[in-house]
Structure 1
Amino acid sequence: MTRPADCADMADLRAAIDALDADLVTLLTRRAAFIDRAAELKSRNRLPARIDDRVEQVVGNVRKLAAAQGLDPDLVERLWREMIDWSIAREETALQA
């Protein structure tokens, strides 16, 4: 993986950011597949899409990870809550089908 200091110019930097963005989309796609599987299991076990304790556990986990790596935990929490809301909506759609 390229480090920021390895980028000699803006073209290198932009290419590295574009590569990271591609990796992030791949990871989000994988995460969505796990969300789809969660919906299947929740349906089978008659669980709701939103389980508040789990939401808070996930948010707490990513806040700790962010802080440990020097990233703003508040930013990470906002991003994850948006992703969690999207995931829950996806699960609710699957559960209603």
Structure 2
Amino acid sequence: MRDPATLGDMAALRAEIDATDKRLSALLAHRQGLIDRAAEIKTGAGLPARIKGRVDEVIANARLNAEAEGIDPDLSEALWRELVEWSIRREETVLGQE
């Protein structure tokens, strides 16, 4: 990752944004695989897709991580809430709870 201050023109900035987006997509693909595995484990354990305490924990972690990285925790929370809800819907489909 390049320091944004070192990017001298829009072409370099856009290239770095595109590279960052690609890395984010790879991380999201990995997370999706983890969610799929969670659904498999929950099936065997008889657990529901939504576990409120865990949802709260993930959101709290998102806010803490945002603060540690110097980004807006409200933005992080909003993004993670959407990500968590998507993940729960995916698990519900696998678990037949939709």
User: Per-residue deviation at 1:69?
Assistant: 1.6
Alignment of 1:32-71 (within 5 A): 32-71=32-71
The yes-or-no answer on 1:15 pairing with 2:31 is no
Residues 19-64 of structure 1 show CA distances to partners (whole Å, capped at 9, x for unaligned) of 0000000000000000000000000000000000000001001101
**Structure 1 residues without counterparts, runs of 5 or longer:** none
Match for residue 26 of structure 1? Answer: 26
User: How far apart, in 2, do the equivalents of 1:20 and 1:42 lie?
Assistant: 33
User: Which range moved further: 64-73 or 34-43?
Assistant: 64-73
User: Per-residue deviation at 1:65?
Assistant: 1.0
Look up the equivalent residue of 1:89 and give its one-letter code: R
Match for residue 96 of structure 2? Answer: 96
Look up the equivalent residue of 1:94 and give its one-letter code: V
The yes-or-no answer on 1:85 pairing with 2:85 is yes
